[in-house]
Amino acid sequence: MTRPIRFLTMLAVVTSFAVLALTAGTTSARAMASCGIVNASGQAWIVVAKNVSCTRAKQVTRAFAARTSRLHSGQSVVVTTSLLPGFHCVLASKGKPGGSCATAGAAKSVLWLVA
């Protein structure tokens, strides 16, 4: 499996877990936790994190919001950020713009989706 496809697969998996976390209200240490909604780049973003502080997750969302919202449908970009050393991030637009950053094995992750 190529690297971009792996990241898109991870984004899909993380998105599924985020939806479950948001609907179930799960906040345990091992589950994804809702960090609320952040307004950035003229849009509202749903932010979810796993083993990353909500403060840091919101910073990452603000850092990538403009770049994420500029993506055309079907487009994706793999990036890194100094806010989360060791994480790989994917910004994508498939239906709605969003992105995720995760460590290898997704032990720690951040997800944001346009609300």
> pLDDT tens digits for 6-23?
544 454 444 544 443 444
Q: Each residue of 19-61: pLDDT tens digit? A: 434 444 444 446 899 999 999 999 999 999 999 999 999 999 9
pTM (2 decimals)? 0.71
Which secondary structure element, helix H or strand E, spans residue 93, and what is its range?
strand 88-94
* Encoded tokens for 84: 């989360």
- Cβ atoms of 73 and 93 closer than 8 Å: yes
State the average pLDDT for the chain: 82
Q: Would you state the pLDDT for residue 58?
A: 97
Specify the DSSP class assigned to residue 106: G
Query: Please, where are the H alpha helices in the chain?
Result: 3-24, 54-69
Q: Tell me what percent of the chain is helix, strand and coil, each rounded to the nearest 5.
A: 35, 35, 30
* Encoded tokens for 39: 């307004």
Q: Would you state the pLDDT for residue 15?
A: 53
Report the sign of the C-alpha dihedral through residues 54, 102, 68, 94, in that order.
Answer: negative
Residues above pLDDT 90, as percent of the chain: 70
Domain spans in the chain, listed from the N-terminal domain onward? 3-114
